[in-house]
Amino acid sequence: MEEIKNVIELEKVTKDYGDFKLDSVSFSVPEGSVCGFIGQNGAGKTTTINLILDVIKRDAGEIRVFGETIDKNSAALREDIGVVFDEMGFHEFMTAKDINFMMKHIYKNWDSEMFFNYLKEFSLPSKKKCGSFSRGMRMKLQIAVALSHHAKLLIMDEPTSGLDPIVRNEMINIFRDYVVEEDHTILLSSHITGDLEKLADEVVFIDKGRIVLAGNKDELLEKHGILKCKKEDLAQVSTSLIVSTEMSSFGAEALVNDRRAAAKLYPDMVIEPAALEQIMIYYVNRRG
């Protein structure tokens, strides 16, 4: 059986701004996977992405993309990386035809035919100024550009933020089609965890500049659970199982980090599956 390669690898990566520190971040993204990079706004997602893209320089640690150290090989590696940011990176007076002309002189592997096919598929006009595009159209334009130089890795920072559910669903289907090809990989930063539950194979959760959880999405969902009980019964539950708790007038709820163990130890308590959003909220609300 062929060993799965990691397309992205971070080892103890640190970036200190004084008021915010990305603190010894380590995780990897396997080839052919969709990795959801989750965390609340300000947790360090964009900083991490900018470090991977070599837009900013790390203070410490190692970053490898396609097995190559990024600072030594950044320019060559960019040929195989498609990038989609929250904000459109093109001048508003440009048309898709202008963008095609520009990209031909930036990427060696730029494919004009593929680009215009994507424009047609996404119902995007080629002669209209992109400044007049809706938010959904702007995101589709960025995705068309990212896919049209035969990128093997897509890195996206909040691509579905601010889009209506119909357009978000369209985007998810586009990403699914892209990653069907074995050597295609996606790192997708988002705080919309529902989208990632549909799409992601792997999840990396960052909070306050530190990685809290990382691993297979289904395994993380299977492992965690929401335990519900009376407030007075919560004291019976082992603190080693509890991530954090939430009290209400109806009783107590706790996120447990081992649903099966909790079910064996406390058979009379209700333990329900936890969604990614719930897992994120409970970890963020931990004390200390």
Q: According to CATH, what is the number of the domain 6-217?
A: 3.40.50.300
In the DSSP assignment, the letter for residue 117 is H
Q: How far apart are CA 154 and CA 84, in angstroms?
A: 8
- Whether 55 and 127 have beta carbons less than 8 Å apart is answered as no
Neighbouring-strand partners of residue 60: 14
Residues whose CB falls within 8 Å of the CB of residue 203, separated by 6 or more in sequence, listed in order: 35, 36, 38, 196, 213, 214, 215, 216, 217, 220, 276
Supply the pLDDT for residue 89: 78
pTM: 0.89
Give me the pLDDT at residue 58, please.
95
Residue whose C-alpha is closest to residue 22's, from 35, 13, 11, 30: 13
**Structure tokens given for 275:** 């969604």
Q: Identify the pLDDT of residue 240.
A: 96
Other residues' Cβ atoms within 10 Å of the Cβ of residue 127: 8
Coil, strand, or helix at residue 113?
A: helix
Structural domain spans, the chain: 6-217, 224-284
pLDDT score, position 1? 43
Q: Where are the beta strands (DSSP E) in 88-176?
A: 153-157
**pLDDT value at residue 72:** 67
Helix 112-121 / helix 96-104 crossing angle, nearest 10 deg: 150
- Please state, in angstroms and as integers, the Cα–Cα distance from residue 73 to each residue in 7, 124, 184, following that order: 14, 34, 20
Give CA–CA dist 169/182, Å, rounded: 22
What DSSP string runs through 8-23?
A: EEEEEEEEE-SS-EEE
Low-confidence ranges of the chain (pLDDT < 70): 1-4, 72-73, 182, 287-288
